[in-house]
Amino acid sequence: MSPYRLALRTLLLNRPRNVLATLLIAASLCVLDLFAGSIASTRAGIEYQAVIVERMGHLTVLPGAASGAPRQLRRFSADEAGRVRSLLAGVKGIALVVPEMSVSGIATTGERSATFAATGVPDAAAGTVLQAAPGKLQAGVDNGVAISQAKAAALTLRVGSAVTLTAAVPDAAPRQLVAQVVDVYQEGGGAGEGKARSMLMPLALAQDLLNTGSIERFVVFLSDPALMEQQRSALAAALRKAGVQAEVRTWQELSQAYMRARSASDLAFDSIAGMVFAVIAASIAATMSINVLERRREVATLRALGMRSHSVFLMLVTEALGMAVMGVAASLIGSGVIAWVINRMSLSDGAPQALAGAMPVELDVNRMMMAVAAVLAVALMAALVPAFKAARAHVAVGLVG
C-alpha cells in the first residue's frame, strides 16, 4: 500500500473541506501576488520618473573623494572629463552618456526675480532615450534655456522671453548672463528630487555661468537596465584601471523617493505575507486535524492491514502538500487572469500608468516563486502535528472508535 497513492486518492475524492482549504490557499496567494504586483508597478513608475523624467540615468559617475573637498564642490577637471568620456564611449551596453553641471542662482526679468536650480546638458543629449523627458533645448541657440511652468509663471516668462541669470559661484564674484527661453515644460508627476530642477540649459552656458571647464557628473543610460549591477562593477573597474578617482552610483542610491517607497513597500509586503501565511497554516492545520479525527477508523484499519506508522505519516503529509500544490496552481492562474484583466481595462481607459512606463499590476515573478516555496514549507509544518498524532495512535482504540 503506497502512502502516496492513497494520498492522491483522497485528494481526488474532492472532499468539501479539502476543496475549501484549497480555495482559501489560492485566494490568499492571489491577494499576495497581486499586492506584490502592485508594488512592482509602483517601483517601475518610480524608476521611469527617476531615470527618464528626472534625467538621473541608470548609473552616475561622480568624482571620487581623493581631493577631500565637500561632495557638492567635487568636479572632474577638463582633462579627467575627457578621459572619462572616452572610457565610457568604449563600453558596450551604454546607450547614452550625458555630462552634466548643476547651477543655482537668481533669475530676473527686470520686474520680477526668483531663485532657480538648473542642470546643464549638451544640446544633443536628448536623442531617443530622453525623448519623453520634459524640457527641450534648441540646437544652435547657445543661450537658450528650458524653464518649468511654475517658474515661468512666477517670472511671467514665455517662449522667446529674455531672462537674466546670476549664478551663485563659491569663492568668486557672481556672474550674469542673458538667456532666451526656448521651451516651457511641465514638471514630472513624481515626488522625487527632480522637481527641484526648474531650468534646463546648455552645458556650455552652465560652465560659463560658473566660470569653469569642469564637469560635475556623467549620467549613463544603459541599453539593458537589467544588467545595471554588472555594468556598474565593470565601469568601476575600468575607471580604477585608468587611474581616474571616481565612483559609480545607481539611480536607486541617488533617488530618495525610491528609498522611501522601497522601505514602506517592503514593510507592507512583509506584513501582508505574514498574515497570508498564518491563514494558510491555520487552514491546513485545522483541515488536517478534522480529517484525521474523522478518518481515525480508516487509519486504524490500514494499520491493522500492515501499514507502518511512518507510511501513515507520509500519507497525511502528502495530502497536505497536495492541497498546497493545488492551491498554488490555482493562485498562479487566478493572479495571471486578474492582472491581465486589470491591465487590459487600464489600457482601454487610457490610464496614466501606461503612459508612465508601468502597468497597474506587474506580476513579480521572483516574489511569486518565493511565496510558492514558503507556502509549501508552511503546509509541511502545519501538517506535522496532525500527521504525527495519527501515526502514533493506538490501532485498537481507532478500530473501536
Say what the pLDDT of residue 24 is. Answer: 94
The verdict on 60 and 190 lying in the same domain is: yes
> Within this chain, do residues 199 and 111 fall inside the same structural domain, yes or no?
yes
Query: CB 143: neighbour CB atoms within 10 A?
Result: 17
Ranges of residues in the chain whose predicted pLDDT is under 70: 1, 66-73, 124-128, 171-172, 188-196, 347-359, 397-398, 400-401
pLDDT at 160: 92
Which of 254, 288, 319 lies at the terminal end of a domain, its last residue?
Answer: 254
CA distance 104 to 106: 7
Q: What are phi and psi of 59, to 5 degrees?
A: -130, 150
Which amino acid is present at 395?
V
234 and 139 in one domain?
Answer: yes
Number of domains comprising the chain: 2
Looking at the fold, whether 132 and 184 belong to one and the same domain comes out as yes
Q: What is the pLDDT of residue 140?
A: 84
**Residues 206 and 350 occupy one common structural domain:** no
pLDDT score recorded for residue 383: 92
Return the number of other C-beta atoms located less than 10 Å from residue 136's C-beta.
Answer: 15
Q: Are residues 233 and 284 in the same domain?
A: no
Please state, in angstroms and rounded to a whole number, the distance separating the CA atoms of residues 131 and 136: 9
Q: Phi, psi (5° rounding) for residue 336?
A: -65, -45
Residues 145 and 248 in one domain: yes
Question: Phi-psi bin for 243: left (phi > 0), alpha (psi -120 to 50), beta?
Answer: left
Residue 374 and residue 281 in one domain? yes
Last residue of a domain, one of 197, 226, 254: 254
Q: 254, 287, 316 — which closes off a domain?
A: 254
As beta bridge partners, residue 306 has none
Q: How far apart, in Å, do the first and last CA atoms of the chain sit?
A: 23
Domain extent, residue 94, equals 55-254
Tell me, what's the pLDDT at 138? 87
Residues 379, 351 share a domain: yes
Rounded to 5°, the CA angle 278-284-289 comes to: 125
User: Taking Cα atoms as reference points, which of 51, 74, 57 lies closest to residue 244?
Assistant: 74
pLDDT, tens digit, 9 for 90 and up, residues 295-347: 888 888 888 888 888 888 999 999 999 999 999 999 999 999 998 888 888 76
pLDDT for position 147: 94
Per-residue model confidence (pLDDT) at position 193: 44
Co-location of 75 and 41 in the same domain = no
Supply the pLDDT for residue 132: 78
Q: In this structure, are 390 and 278 located in the same domain? A: yes
Half-sphere exposure of 96 (CA within 13 A, CB side): 21
**Statement to judge: residues 117 and 203 lie in one domain:** yes
